[in-house]
Amino acid sequence: MTMTLSRQTVIPITELEQSAFCRSDGNLRTQTLEEEFKAGVRWQKIPTRYMKLSPEEIDAGIAEAREALGEQVILLGHHYQREDVIKYADIRGDSYLLSKQAAEVKEARAIVFCGVHFMAETADILSSDDQSVILPNMAAGCSMADMANLEEVEDCWDDMQSVLEGQGTVVPITYMNSTAAIKSLCGENGGLVCTSSNADRAFEWAWRHGDKVLFLPDQHLGRNTAKKMGISEDDMVVWNPFKPMGSLSPEQVRRSKVILWQGHCSVHTRFTTKQIEDARLDNPDVNIIVHPECVKEVVESADYVGSTEYIQNMINAAPAGTAWGVGTEINMVSRLAKENPDKEVFCLDPVVCPCATMYRIHPAYVLWVLEGLVAGLMINRIEVPAETKANARLALDRMLEISR
């Protein structure tokens, strides 16, 4: 049996930076890039002339570039984007929906993805060879995706195969919020990708093809999904990538039904049962709706649990006069409140903390890459290697099969 060497715990930089844009006063006003650079997080370098542009100057520049480019370019805006960016989006949605819809717009030669790195990778996997995907700011990563790098997951996979020695079959499932390399590993090893809305179907598919599930990279979505399907926590273990054999004994691996990777979302783990209790004290009739990336106790305390699209659809369709305490990213919650003035919609977390990596898609970066396209330059193109793309596409196609 092979054993992984113990590694020093390394917290992803994106995780350390998560609190950089938090506000106690709820003010998420977009500042000039020069001002926002003072937040002390990593920013991609950009030509100096973009640093002091006012919102009006950026608006005018983007309008001029869009007119020049016409249908050659399409802008995608994730639900978690700041208002001053998503207003430019041709399509809004979650990461997979955006990638899928963009790939269907065949006349667009360039896809500008206002999201984070793994989303742009997924768009490149799904789009045609004559389409190019652009990420406005290369520093817009994802702390959750960073928590499962390829080397660590390969070590985990090899260790499990050695422990089982043909006495059990592990099917890997990766959440959409993962790198192309991890999606590729799953595709190559008989696994698939899932979203927060079809994770239960992915588990069912996996158990038809194997004995165990390795779920990457978000332990909370994996745990909440498995519990929803009647799996006992006694049948789940957590793999710590920084410990030999994930800090598990061979027997623990053999008798487990679900192996959860030790990863999480920096935004959704901020929500607590105390926040829910406080909301219900203020209004006993409040509806609590949260994302399944929240911790188990929060999910169990909520009235409704679902994906970003589910949360949006539930609140939009709710009767006037209802109140909704929401456990998801603040830009989305603020947008839902604005679009539903006949309802009370608020974020459960009183400290306003946007996704710190998504927030790095500043309007000035959008202008920069658009003006690059006008000048014939492809700035920040995201290209997934051919072999990685092929195996990742296999994992995504398996997901599509269970979604039909």
CATH of the domain at 217: 3.40.50.10800
> What are residue 356's phi and psi, to 5 degrees?
-70, -25
In this structure, is residue 247 part of a structural domain? yes
Same domain, 17 and 129: yes
Q: Are 95 and 120 in contact (CB under 8 A)?
A: no
pLDDT category at 7 given cuts 50, 70, 90 is very low
pLDDT of res. 122: 93
Q: Are 218 and 264 in contact (CB under 8 A)?
A: yes
Same domain, 156 and 256: yes
pLDDT category at 6 given cuts 50, 70, 90 is very low
Burial class from Cβ neighbours inside 10 Å (0-12, 13-18, 19+) for residue 165 reads exposed
Portion of the chain with pLDDT greater than 70, in percent: 93
Please identify which residue in the block is written with the tokens 């190559």.
188
Of residues 256 and 20, more confidence is placed in: 256
Answer whether residue 98 shows pLDDT above 90: no
pLDDT of res. 19: 64
Same domain, 136 and 20: yes
Which runs of consecutive H residues, i.e. helices, occur in 78-198?
Answer: 83-86, 95-104, 117-126, 143-146, 150-164, 180-188
Q: Residue 60: which domain range?
A: 13-140+357-385
Single-letter code of the amino acid located at 136: P
Averaged pLDDT for residues 51-80: 95
Answer whether residue 18 shows pLDDT above 50: yes
pLDDT of res. 39: 79
Q: Which helix (H) or strand (E) holds 279?
A: helix 273-282
Same domain, 261 and 341: no
pLDDT category at 23 given cuts 50, 70, 90 is low
Lowest mean pLDDT, pick from 15-19, 23-27, 37-41, 260-264: 23-27
In this structure, is residue 220 part of a structural domain? yes
pLDDT in tens, 253-275: 999 999 999 999 989 999 999 99
Same domain, 215 and 303: no
Query: Max alpha carbon distance in the chain (Å)?
Result: 64
Same domain, 155 and 246: yes
Same domain, 130 and 220: no
Q: Which residues contact 348 (CB under 8 A, 6 or more apart)?
A: 271, 275, 276, 279, 288, 290, 325, 326, 327
Beta bridge partners of 174: 193, 216
Q: How many domains does the chain have?
A: 3
Number of other CB atoms surrounding residue 73 within 10 Å: 22
258 DSSP 8-state letter:
E
In this structure, is residue 329 part of a structural domain? yes
pLDDT category at 97 given cuts 50, 70, 90 is confident
Structure-token pair, residue 309: 């699209």
110 DSSP 8-state letter:
E
pLDDT in tens, 323-372: 999 999 999 999 999 999 999 999 999 876 777 788 899 999 999 999 99
pLDDT category at 173 given cuts 50, 70, 90 is very high
Same domain, 103 and 31: yes
Q: How far is CA 288 from the centre of its chain?
A: 22
pLDDT of res. 259: 98
pLDDT of res. 17: 66
* Cα–Cα distances in angstroms (integers) from residue 287 to residues 25, 231, 284, 382, in the given order: 24, 27, 9, 40
SS3 content of the chain, % helix, strand, coil (to 5): 50, 15, 40
Answer whether residue 287 shows pLDDT above 80: yes
Same domain, 117 and 150: no
Same domain, 247 and 391: yes
Same domain, 57 and 91: yes
CA-to-CA distance for 319 and 376, rounded, in angstroms? 50
pLDDT of res. 27: 58
In this structure, is residue 5 part of a structural domain? no
Same domain, 338 and 288: yes
- Please, what is the angle between helix 308-317 and helix 330-339, to 10°? 20
